Amino acid sequence: MKSEKRKHFNAKWYMKIRRCESFLTLYLFCRPTVPVGEKWSIETNIGFKLIGSNNETIAATKKKFCFDETAGVGFEYFEWEYIKKYVEDNSLDVEAEIEILKMTGFGNEKLLHFDESQKDYSDVVLVVKDTKFYVLRKYLASQSSYFKALLLGNFSESKLFEVELKEVDPEEFQLYLETLYGESAIDDKTVENVARLADMYDSPKAIRKCEEFLLEKSEKTLKEKLKLATRYNLRKLKEKCMDQIESIEDVQAVIPDSIDDLDHQTTLDLLAKMNSLL
């Protein structure tokens, strides 16, 4: 038995149910619906749930699974002897809840190209894993104090034509460069990654664009916005978040899961806000 196919996050998802001897097996299939890289993957938490005729949960499991070009199916087993007593008229409801942890190889459409086609217009190549970005030293240096020191300072890299950057994802670096070059590469999916690199490389223009997006266009929750404002020192965004807290419930709602996501000053500000609402 196979479910209908649903498209979410540039992938097609569907389920199959099969009884194999003493087990009922659930299969969850995932197939990309857009062009992907040679090594695509979707890291997930998958929750399978079996629901009886009285709408009661019979069994539920949750597990991590990584879909990729070699393993496009996740699965789970349930003992048939236990399940069959809940089956009426050969009918059984099955649900699969998918939490996407990370997607790789599903790159956004590039707004600008920094590949070898730009070789004649560049004077340095930044190597991020297996991807090369052809850029101009002086322009990058004008946008980032990190790259100013690295490419125009006294470091050995200032003499090299190819400079390797470590601990950076090439897709995220592409978005960062597009932002520096004036393109609209920021949305709710990309803003945190762009902000992280802008902060890492001390790029005020990119940070400002991230903050403007979060202030004017983002649909992220107040909790998410306050976390980003705290982490990347986005003063205007933090002020707006604080102004939108109007009740004790609002204060409780923005408190992060990890206390490390709040700095000392934000903690004090939330305590003061709570006291003012009592």
The CA-atom distances, in angstroms, between 96 and each of 30, 54, 61, 68, 130 are 12, 19, 10, 18, 36
Give the mean pLDDT of the chain: 87
Which residue has better confidence, 262 or 201? Answer: 201
pTM of the predicted protein model = 0.62
Order of all β-strands in the sheet with 131-135: 131-135, 124-128, 162-165
Q: What is the pLDDT of residue 37?
A: 67
Within 13 Å and on the Cβ side, how many CA atoms surround 172? 20
Q: What is the pLDDT of residue 32?
A: 86
**Confidence check: pLDDT of 73 > 80:** no
- With tokens 């790159």, the residue in question is 107
Q: What is the pLDDT of residue 157?
A: 87
Which residue has better confidence, 202 or 273? Answer: 202
- Minimal CA–CA distance to 189: which of 230, 222, 224, 144? 224
Q: What is the pLDDT of residue 108?
A: 64
- Minimal CA–CA distance to 241: which of 277, 276, 218, 215? 215
**CA–CA gap between residue 61 and residue 24 (Å, rounded):** 13
**What mean pLDDT is predicted for residues 117-126?**
95
**CA–CA gap between residue 162 and residue 125 (Å, rounded):** 5
What are the tens digits of pLDDT across the range 6-63? 888 778 888 888 877 788 888 888 888 776 766 788 899 888 888 877 777 888 888 8
Q: What single DSSP character describes residue 69?
A: S
Burial profile 218-236: b = 16 or more Cβ within 10 angstroms, e = fewer? beeeebbbbbbbbbbebee
CATH for 116-277, options being 3.40.50.720, 3.30.710.10, 1.10.287.1080, 3.40.640.10: 3.30.710.10
**What mean pLDDT is predicted for residues 60-74?**
80
**Confidence check: pLDDT of 262 > 70:** yes
95 pLDDT band, cuts 50/70/90, is confident
- CATH architecture, domain 6-104: Sandwich (2.60)
Q: Could you tell me if 277 and 247 are in contact, meaning their C-beta atoms sit under 8 angstroms apart?
A: yes
93-97, 102-106, 133-137, 231-235, range with the lowest pLDDT: 102-106
- With a pLDDT cut of 70, the percent of the chain lying above it is 95
What are the tens digits of pLDDT across the range 220-243? 999 999 999 999 999 999 999 999
Which phi and psi (to 5°) does residue 17 adopt? -120, 135
Question: Domain map of the chain by residue range?
Answer: 6-104, 116-277
Q: Residue 129's Cα: distance from chain center in Å?
A: 19
